[in-house]
Amino acid sequence: MKTLLKYDLRIQQTLILLFIASVLTALLLKQEYMMTVLIIEFFLIAFFQYVLNTVKFCNVRYTKTASRKIYIFTSTYIVIGFLIWILMCMVSLPPLDTGEAIRSIFEYMVISWTMLSPVLILQSLSISFSDHEDTKNRILKKCL
């Protein structure tokens, strides 16, 4: 885990660059399977960043900045909402007004996930960059 935390910024940068390259490739090739590749890459980035930031949030070596707290709160909202949505898709709701209301709420939640996800990817990258700089500064202070 130490190695993962040490190279998290590089790993995130690489994953995001691969995703951008895949988007450009998908635009050029216009193949149906590329959409599947993009969805898989997107979820891999989201999963990696969520796990990484959760580990850092629970680790005493990393400061709990406002940005990190906002990231954890917002990403947990998305993860829990997404898991509930999957469960709701597996269970058929009765055709009552409450079932339609719940479906309507989840439609709005999906829209919010769509808007928040790119912001969270960039915020996680920013947090990792700040952590990298903090680590460098701590090492420099020890050397002096």
Return the CA Rg of the chain: 19
Measured CA to CA, the distance from residue 67 to residue 65 in angstroms comes to 5
pLDDT tens digit string along 76-132? 998 888 888 788 778 766 655 556 777 777 778 888 888 898 899 999 999 999 998
Measured CA to CA, the distance from residue 53 to residue 32 in angstroms comes to 33
Measured CA to CA, the distance from residue 74 to residue 107 in angstroms comes to 17
In this prediction the pTM is: 0.81
Handedness of CA 17, 82, 111, 93 (dihedral sign): positive
pLDDT tens digit string along 19-59? 999 999 999 988 888 888 888 898 889 999 999 999 999 99
